Amino acid sequence: MTDFLEVKAKRTFAVGKELKTKKSDPFKVEAGEAKQLEAQGLVDIVGEAQAAVEDDATDEAADKPVISSARSTKKKDKPDAVNEGS
């Protein structure tokens, strides 16, 4: 289980495609990322993110179907003559 911390921006910086500023609401990031951002002087760590939010995320993941990225190794049953005429 990944730990999340709530942080507040001290300076303007980008998180993904989103800009965080001094006026931004506190937001959640992984603990390791929060410590890196704090070391760079970009954020203050406000506190730990609420565990209830993580429980909801786990429930949502359980409802989603599992999608496999494995590919089939089965060859198509076409005679070689069909492929040569193309």
User: Phi/psi class of residue 16: alpha, beta or left (left: φ > 0; alpha: ψ in -120 to 50)?
Assistant: left
Q: Is the pLDDT of residue 54 over 70?
A: no
The mean predicted confidence, pLDDT, of the chain is 77
Q: Using 50, 70 and 90 to split pLDDT, how confident is the model at 32?
A: very high
Residues 35-64 as b/e (b if ≥16 CB within 10 A, e otherwise) read: eebeeeebbebeeebeeeeeeeeeeeeeee
Length of the chain measured in residues: 86
Q: Is the pLDDT of residue 58 over 90?
A: no
- Distance, in Å, from the CA atom of 28 to the CA atom of 68, rounded to the nearest integer, reads 29
Q: Phi/psi at 19 (nearest 5 deg)?
A: -95, 135
Print the domain residue range for 30.
4-64
Does a structural domain hold residue 74?
no
Does a structural domain hold residue 42?
yes
Domain total for the chain? 1
